[in-house]
């Protein structure tokens, strides 16, 4: 016997599910799963399928969004790893449920819509604050890399969530006349900007400085408010300038100090042991070659007297082999890598090496500059045949090569859903990749390549079409809310395989459907029966 509820109760259940998903994105995967199941069950329970079907026909873009999920289901037919394929399909269930449920439901009332956004921002604030406490050791949790401080959601996704939250908060500042709301929103904008800089979140900062001016220009142009764009640019330009100068300074420091001259080579250390010289290894720190004038026996003998981290097999706090961190740091100071050189290091420098610091100038650099310098170093090291293992940028380049090779071999239908690892393993074996076995499980950090690998180039083109057509057909590309999300999502697809993780795929499926179909600005269009009617230009 079917137990029915009045429509208003189903509406509240629907709102609770959406709020739960929004809050859980940055906080807890279980909350996300419960929210997705919740809205799906409520959708089935409330019935009214004749009205939902009529709305589905009017919003045919829903079918295009669902098509991405269905392609992954079809991809199980030729996968080489069916179990992994099933896990992949399970992760991508939000691509089916959320567009279908939100796309065939009435738009939210204004207060309810804003409540959902508030829950998302609240979850992001909680997650960023916890991450900051871990990164500053206020919460005692053992981490080997700064990125591990974000233990509720991957840091790259938390930075994207933070960027979207900043745009939502700026929207509240612009729209609200209440002073305390503006003040609180402004405080959290500053907090999230500080957080991304502190955590060296290049992807989130790039999303912020890329989307910010674009959105400001569209809003100002559509609303003919030149003062608005001037005000936004006044806020954005210092951040853009800071980020740009930090990256430029890191680039200049790395390449201008690279050094091309042959260094002075010593024969024996004070202990009578010969130095090693590897002139063929083009790795530099502050213009000094790293792998010359190296006396490993001397370094090992004196290192164990100054540190508890073992020399052979020991790793720094970032997971890098300690002996190479020592060599890089000593080279940055232009020290001979021998016993005398070890004792020229202060206790503070020994601790810095243990914490993964590879250059003595890092102490003078801001967090963004340090991260940018490390990126340039990784790219240079990889370009000249260095081991990519453990280096995020180098490993991405290596896996991207494997992905492109796989696409070349299977351009039309790919290798099947869930088969990325098997496809890449063949490439690693044939190419003699230096990527160590422990890292060969990695997927390519680019969503377009990921889909092309598993489902082929036509499927990747359909995915690109699914990004553009729904927003274009519903005139949402002039909506500040949608455009903010859209730019952040596309940037995430370029730098990460967002749809391969639960929080990433839910973030995309949820906000894409929410801003396409649930925004209250579409209420008038809904009542008139024209569900594809344009929203007001640059609607906030």
Model confidence pLDDT, tens digit, residues 79-106: 888 998 999 999 999 999 999 999 999 8
pLDDT along the chain (540 residues), means of 10: 72 93 94 94 88 86 94 93 91 95 92 95 96 87 77 90 93 83 91 89 81 72 60 67 80 69 82 88 82 91 90 78 89 90 91 87 80 82 70 74 84 89 75 64 81 93 94 84 91 86 94 92 40 45
3-state DSSP call for residue 268? strand
Q: Which residues contact 158 (CB under 8 A, 6 or more apart)?
A: 26, 124, 127, 128, 131, 150, 152, 201, 204
At 532 the pLDDT is 46
CA atoms of 339 and 191, how far apart (whole Å): 45
At 497 the pLDDT is 82
At 34 the pLDDT is 94
At 526 the pLDDT is 36
Model confidence pLDDT, tens digit, residues 7-31: 788 889 999 999 999 999 999 899 9
* DSSP letter (8 states) at residue 335: -
Which tokens is 366 given? 């801001």
Which tokens is 37 given? 């199941």
Q: What is the dihedral sign for C-alpha 161, 166, 171, 177?
A: positive
CA atoms of 455 and 459, how far apart (whole Å): 6
At 119 the pLDDT is 96
Q: Which residues contact 41 (CB under 8 A, 6 or more apart)?
A: none
Angle between the N-to-C axes of helices 179-198 and 367-383, in degrees from 0 to 180, rounded to the nearest 10: 40
**Please, what's the largest Cα pairwise distance for the chain?**
91
Which tokens is 419 given? 């088969």
CA atoms of 405 and 400, how far apart (whole Å): 9
CA atoms of 17 and 289, how far apart (whole Å): 58
Which tokens is 313 given? 């097999």
Which tokens is 322 given? 């300690």
Q: Which residues lie across from 284 on neighbouring strands?
A: 289
CA atoms of 264 and 275, how far apart (whole Å): 12
Q: What is the reported pTM?
A: 0.81
């Amino acid at each position: 016997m079917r137990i029915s509820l009045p429509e208003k109760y189903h509406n509240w259940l629907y709102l609770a599910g959406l709020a739960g998903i929004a809050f859980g994105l940055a906080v807890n995967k279980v909350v996300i799963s419960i929210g997705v199941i919740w809205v799906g069950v409520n959708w089935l329970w409330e019935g009214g399928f004749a009205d939902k079907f009529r709305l589905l026909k009017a919003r045919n873009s829903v079918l295009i969004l669902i098509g991405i999920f269905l392609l992954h289901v079809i991809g199980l037919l030729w996968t080489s790893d069916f179990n992994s394929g099933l896990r992949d399909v399970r992760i991508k269930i939000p691509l089916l449920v959320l567009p279908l449920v939100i796309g065939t439901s009435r738009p939210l009332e204004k207060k309810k819509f804003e409540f959902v956004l508030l829950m998302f921002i609240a979850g992001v604030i909680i997650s960023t604050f916890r991450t900051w406490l871990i990164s500053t050791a206020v919460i005692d949790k053992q981490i080997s890399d700064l990125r591990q401080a974000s233990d509720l959601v991957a840091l790259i996704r938390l930075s994207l969530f933070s960027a979207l939250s900043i745009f939502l908060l700026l929207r509240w500042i612009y729209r609200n006349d209440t002073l305390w709301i503006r003040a609180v929103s402004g405080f959290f904008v500053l907090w999230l900007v500080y957080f991304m800089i502190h955590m060296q979140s290049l992807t989130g900062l790039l999303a912020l400085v890329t989307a910010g001016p674009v959105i400001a220009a569209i809003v100002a142009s559509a609303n003919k408010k030149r003062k608005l764009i001037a005000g936004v640019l006044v806020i954005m330009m210092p951040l853009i300038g800071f980020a740009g100068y930090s990256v430029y300074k890191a680039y200049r420091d790395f390449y201008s100090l690279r050094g091309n001259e042959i260094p002075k080579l010593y024969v024996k250390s004070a202990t009578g042991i010969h130095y090693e010289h590897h002139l063929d290894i083009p790795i530099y720190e502050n213009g000094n070659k790293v792998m010359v004038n190296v006396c490993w026996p001397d370094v090992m003998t004196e290192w164990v007297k100054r540190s508890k981290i073992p020399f052979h097999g020991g790793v720094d706090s970032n997971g890098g082999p300690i002996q190479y961190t020592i060599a890089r740091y000593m080279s940055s100071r232009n020290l001979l890598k021998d016993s005398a050189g070890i004792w020229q290091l202060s206790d503070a420098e020994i601790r810095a090496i243990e914490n993964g610091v590879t250059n003595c100038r890092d102490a003078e650099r801001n967090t963004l500059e340090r991260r940018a310098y490390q990126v340039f170093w990784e790219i240079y090291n990889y370009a000249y045949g260095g081991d990519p293992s453990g280096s995020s940028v180098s490993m991405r380049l290596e896996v991207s090569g494997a992905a492109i090779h796989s696409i070349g071999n299977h351009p039309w239908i790919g290798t099947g859903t869930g088969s990325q690892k098997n496809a890449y393993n063949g490439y690693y074996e044939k190419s003699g990749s230096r990527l160590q076995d422990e890292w060969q499980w990695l997927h390519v950090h680019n969503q377009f390549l990921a889909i092309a690998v598993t489902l082929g180039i036509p499927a990747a083109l359909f995915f690109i079409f699914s990004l553009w057509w729904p927003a274009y057909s519903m005139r949402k590309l002039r909506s500040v809310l949608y455009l903010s999300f859209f730019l952040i999502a596309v940037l995430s697809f370029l730098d990460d395989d967002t749809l391969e993780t639960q929080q990433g795929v839910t973030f995309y499926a949820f906000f894409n459907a929410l801003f396409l179909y649930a925004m209250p600005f579409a209420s008038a269009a809904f009542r008139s029966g024209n569900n594809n009617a344009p929203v007001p230009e640059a609607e906030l």
